[in-house]
Structure 1
């Protein structure tokens, strides 16, 4: 696929801020060559996977699909790719998930139709297309070429790149297409239900945004957000030296009902006012947060650190606690620990008993750099909330 229009289209895709994960099966293989051979591919492609065998597809989907080449399978692949892109992308970058499954010409004549199903998923919309080829009109390589061109056009559309598309489809090969848009409430409902893993509100000003892939995350309920939170993240960012500072709220709580869409939106407004990025996730547990945000630095208080290493919160099983936190360590995550009141006594990291195997992932924030004695609970009480 060396056509000039294809190269120009891919260059435009690579110049856009969108980062993508692609899951392709049964065709459109030439699109990967086009994306990867044009300089700038690392700006766009986070990961490309070809689950070609039956078992590979079953493992990707986590089930045996009703049909391996179908609209439903392509949509499920695109949603998985979108969630994967969220986890791998730079903070605040728009992300795209692409799912493609085809049943194209092969060495043996097919009884069924030659067709492909393509789905693209972004934060606020999902697009789906099915193209049925005229049987016998093209070789396998030619069908792959046409499906690859169609896929590149779909990626360009998702990246808001104007596409000059030289279609090789015949007049009778009319794509069956549909598009579904999601408003903010629907996106948050999808998050609460577990359909998407998190949603980023990139409110940070330009000066706060780092090119680093590492996120510096301060988790909490932020009910309300106060100056202590802002100061703590600022100090933690200086200690890290490099990274994208952001706050994180879990819409799902381990021992409380999930936040409502209205509650989430109210809390998000606090961060918009101060120009700070906030991530809404659906994971209250740190070992799951580590999977969602690999390589991140989590900013926590000594009270949270004490709970993390307390076997009491792991059913009294010390080995289970070690195993879970070593799993966090394997994701490349670390914990920056600020001093907090623990059972009425101000404590810092050095006051805690951290297992030897975990000491390298806990980093102290010196009390002289930051000390927060007030909590959101106390702020609510003072405001009569």
Structure 2
């Protein structure tokens, strides 16, 4: 019965306008086999990858995950898969790319093996489209199924998640045992988030009431950061920056990282919720200050001492002092400046006068004295539970 339902679901998928890239870490490969065994797969599957070793997964993600089998890793796999699907589809149909019918799948699983596992048998399946991020997690009761039965459960769950994302109503019954439960959650993008992710706009504003704002509404002072989370140190810096410049401060988060996939809609949603009332934030795809300066010319950037030092380092410019100097000259031409706050770095308190900067950069900086601001707090310490 399940085979009939599975084949019917896959046939519907192959007849649909959806195109997909799927990446699974070994566990979940049965779903790929089923997808490819039904005629019509070439109309649906752009690529199927199995990065079985840790090194292979790191190559695919372009970074080393903290945990290889986790929700975060599956989400990063799905986002990278989505952009891989865009790349492949653009080469197949350069003038007819349908971003709204592309899907990226990331499946991170730890299933039964020859050697007993110390941890749980579990799977995380993330699905990324242009309008939503979703993830389903399942912990399998240990030592109750052989590897084949565990693979069948994962395959059914993966195909069901794909059906859900593509609007197919059929579902494959899951062979769940008493006490097993699939934990599913999704984040739906605002229209501006989708446009930003697809490169159709340079910036999107939060909170929701300001979604239609354009960069023409920028107020002159920009505080870039990850804000994961936003904390009292950030708020205090913004208050001081407003006092010193006479302008309200806008925050900025780049959804794109130099090394990692763009933030998915779960991450964007959780960070966007932090900005309300008088606070507002620009979402961009500008991971470098040079890219930010092109979106926000004449901006005064609020930065810490550690950040201004990084802006001066040639290693961020392909190890080229000449490229670094050209970037500094572009900051000058864009009439951008830096309001530099003191910062504790590796237990060492650094104020502006302690730094060695190229004159071209130092001339663009306005230091905030230590007497005005000192707060030894960081987002990473908050995430790790540090005090």
TM-score normalised by length of structure 1: 0.51
2: CA distance between counterparts of 1:114 and 1:65? Answer: 19
Aligned to 1:257: 294
Quick check: 1:92 aligned with 2:98?
yes
Write out per-residue CA displacement over residues 223-270 of structure 1, whole angstroms, 9 at most, x where no aligned residue: xxxxxxxxxxxxxxxxxxxxxxxxxxx98797962389xxxxxxxxxx
Quick check: 1:61 aligned with 2:98?
no
Give the conservation status (yes or no) of the 8 Å contact 1:251–1:258: no
Aligned to 2:124: 117
- C-alpha RMSD of matched pairs (Å): 2.8
2: CA distance between counterparts of 1:181 and 1:161? Answer: 18
**What displacement does 1:172 show?**
1.2
- Following TM superposition, where does structure 1 have runs of at least 4 consecutive aligned residues deviating by more than 6 angstroms? 250-256
Aligned to 2:10: 10
Quick check: 1:169 aligned with 2:170?
no
1: CA distance between counterparts of 2:296 and 2:49? Answer: 35
1: CA distance between counterparts of 2:155 and 2:139? Answer: 14
Give the conservation status (yes or no) of the 8 Å contact 2:163–2:171: no
2: CA distance between counterparts of 1:78 and 1:259? Answer: 31
| Aligned equivalent of 1:182, options 178, 189, 207 | 189
2: CA distance between counterparts of 1:66 and 1:254? Answer: 28
Give the conservation status (yes or no) of the 8 Å contact 2:2–2:172: no
2: CA distance between counterparts of 1:83 and 1:178? Answer: 21
Give the conservation status (yes or no) of the 8 Å contact 2:78–2:126: yes
1: CA distance between counterparts of 2:106 and 2:46? Answer: 14
**What displacement does 1:188 show?**
3.4
For the structure 1 residues 92 and 110, does the alpha-carbon distance in structure 2 shift closer, same or farther, using more than 3 Å as the test? same
Aligned to 2:27: 27
2: CA distance between counterparts of 1:72 and 1:156? Answer: 22
2: CA distance between counterparts of 1:92 and 1:259? Answer: 30
**What displacement does 1:165 show?**
2.1
Structure 1 gap ranges (5+)? 198-249, 261-312, 316-385
Map 1:138-149 onto structure 2 (within 5 A). 138-149=145-156
1: CA distance between counterparts of 2:285 and 2:176? Answer: 46
Q: Equivalent residue of 2:138, what SS? A: strand
2: CA distance between counterparts of 1:127 and 1:169? Answer: 21
For the structure 1 residues 2 and 37, does the alpha-carbon distance in structure 2 shift closer, same or farther, using more than 3 Å as the test? farther
How many corresponding residue pairs?
Answer: 211
1: CA distance between counterparts of 2:79 and 2:178? Answer: 31
**What displacement does 1:60 show?**
1.1
Structure 2 gap ranges (5+)? 203-253, 263-283, 298-322, 326-387
For the structure 1 residues 251 and 121, does the alpha-carbon distance in structure 2 shift closer, same or farther, using more than 3 Å as the test? closer
